[in-house]
Amino acid sequence: MKLQKTARSEVAEGLKHHFPRLWRYCLVLAGHPDRADDLAQATCLRAIEKADLWAPGTQLDRWTFRIAQRIWLNELRSEAVRRGGGMTTAEDIDLPDGRPNQEMNFFAREVLLEVMALPEAQRTTVVLVYVEGYSYKEAAALLDIPIGTVMSRLAAARAKLVCKLNEPKSQVG
């Protein structure tokens, strides 16, 4: 009982520290801030409930990312069964803009919208490697895929992003 209480308190304390990263990952999975909030909350709840399954000394953030990924996949499956639902389009994402440089904010939003428009497998891989800073090997382990698949997804995502971000914008005037 004492071991379970210790693991539970370690997980709860660790979640406080890792929550911003977990929420970002949930946003990438869910595609909308409200759904990311729900997913992050469900992930934290599941992590605390299953704290006795976490091995102290291992990476708590990786463990919670896997929990979030599994919850999200289960949610997508059940949604598809219920009504064939899908994800929110990238254009419907309302991102807060807290930085003063409007030109940089515009470009950052444009990049984020293009990242959010990538297929889910590429999108999650891009965020894990380029935003969260995981190595290819760590991302492969987290996603339970071969490292070559990580490299392939990143190459395909980069090619799509470069193509999309370099295409000329139509001028209204």
Confidence (pLDDT) at 140 = 92
* Model confidence pLDDT, tens digit, residues 86-123: 455 555 555 555 545 566 566 677 778 888 888 988 99
pTM, two decimal places: 0.58
Q: Residue 5 above 90 pLDDT?
A: no
* Long-range pairs, 90-96, Cβ under 8 A, ≥24: 90/31, 90/114, 90/116, 90/117, 92/32, 93/31, 93/32, 93/33, 94/33, 95/33
43-47, 99-103, 137-141: which has the minimum mean pLDDT?
99-103
